[in-house]
Amino acid sequence: MSSTTIARGNVQSSTVIQYTLGATAIATATAEVSITVPDVQVGNIVLVSTGFANTLGVSCVNARVTAANTIALGFINTTGSSANTTAGTYYLQIIKPENLPVPSSPV
C-alpha cells in the first residue's frame, strides 16, 4: 500500500483475531509463549485480551512481534510455585503502522 499521508504514526490497518492457547506451564517468574500469526512483522503493535479469568497469580502482561509471522505472549507468575495459564481464547489486536519505523515524535 502506498503512503499518501505525512509519516507521523498513521495506522495502515487494525485487525482483531482470536487464538486458542492450551494450558501452559509457567515457572516461578516469567515466560513467553510464541505463536504463529501470518502476515505480522516486527514493528506491528499487538494488544491482547481474554474473555476469561486466568489462573490466580498468573497474568498475560505483554504481547509483541518477535519475528515475521511470530507473536510472543509474555506471562508472569506471582504464586511462588509453578502454575499453568488457563486454556482459552485470546483476542489479539494487530495494528500495522503505515510507515516503519514508527516516528518517535508526533510532530
pLDDT at 102: 75
Which residue pairs, CB below 8 angstroms and at least 24 apart, start in 58-63?
Answer: 58/26, 58/83, 58/84, 58/85, 58/86, 60/85, 60/90, 61/30, 63/92
Give the per-residue pLDDT at 4: 57
Please tell me the predicted confidence (pLDDT) of residue 13.
92
What would the pLDDT profile of 39-95 be if each residue is shown by its tens digit? Answer: 999 999 999 999 888 889 999 999 999 999 999 999 999 998 999 999 999 999 999
Is residue 36 within 8 Å of 70, Cβ to Cβ? yes
